[in-house]
Copies of this chain bind each other. A is one copy, B any other.
Amino acid sequence: MRAADYPGPFAALVRELRRLPGVGPRSAERMALWLLDDGERPTALADALAAARDGVRQCAACGFFAIEEKCVICLDDDREDLLCVVERATDILPIERSGAFHGVYHALGGRLSPLEHVGPEDLHLVELTSRLERGAFTEVILALSTDVEGEATANYLSDLLAPRGVRVSRLAQGMPAGGGLEHADELTLARAMAGRHRAGGGELAPGQKGG
């Protein structure tokens, strides 16, 4: 005899579930067992997958998820004249949820990465500059990754946008909220130190900073 295993379609479902981010072999098996425990469950999930695949598209303006041509953010008339540039559409909701920004967004579709052959022509830069020409934005906020490629992309965008006279800013870098010093890496600490401000508010004068 040989040790039995799950039948083919079951094993195929486990394989598909394992592709999901954060799902290991054990949890994929547990999910498949749970799904097949009630005939309604695989149908409900399959229907939701089809509906999301067919019903969700990219906003023509900013790249966020949309049902119509434009997303709810771009259609919202109460937004401020601020444009927040992010790498991916998925970066938009975390900023929305922070409640700290009330403008609109522009997803680049990635960032400059010579190693991965991603150049300026691969990002939505033409769309960005044409939006800036059409719209009356008072400020462009670059909310990009804080690694080397994100920094390079931010520098490239700063140079690109400088001649347009629009104010270009970047997110502050420093200690993450709720994190103790013992958990911060050296680069984070160095940037938090370089960006330090006067206790009680206000920036230090440039000469008082070390960096």
Residues of A within 8 A of B (CB): 1-10, 12-13, 15-17, 19-23, 27, 30-36, 39, 41-46, 48-56, 64-67, 71-73, 76, 78-79, 90, 92-93, 96-97, 99, 102
Asked if A72 and B7 make an inter-chain contact with CB atoms under 8 angstroms apart, the answer reads yes
Asked if B43 and A99 make an inter-chain contact with CB atoms under 8 angstroms apart, the answer reads no
Rounded to whole angstroms, the CA-CA distance of A66 and B52 in the bound complex is: 31
Q: Closest chain B residue to A15 by CB distance?
A: B48
Rounded to whole angstroms, the CA-CA distance of A73 and B118 in the bound complex is: 53
Asked if A27 and B16 make an inter-chain contact with CB atoms under 8 angstroms apart, the answer reads no
- Cβ of A34: which chain B residues have Cβ within 8 Å of it? 20-21
Smallest beta-carbon distance A48→chain B, Å: 4
Q: A13-B51, A16-B45 are in contact. Are A56 and B71 (CB under 8 A)?
A: no
Asked if A76 and B1 make an inter-chain contact with CB atoms under 8 angstroms apart, the answer reads yes
Which of B64, B67, B90, B102 makes the CB contact (< 8 A) with A9?
A: B67
Asked if B50 and A35 make an inter-chain contact with CB atoms under 8 angstroms apart, the answer reads no
Asked if A53 and B71 make an inter-chain contact with CB atoms under 8 angstroms apart, the answer reads no
Rounded to whole angstroms, the CA-CA distance of A53 and B43 in the bound complex is: 8
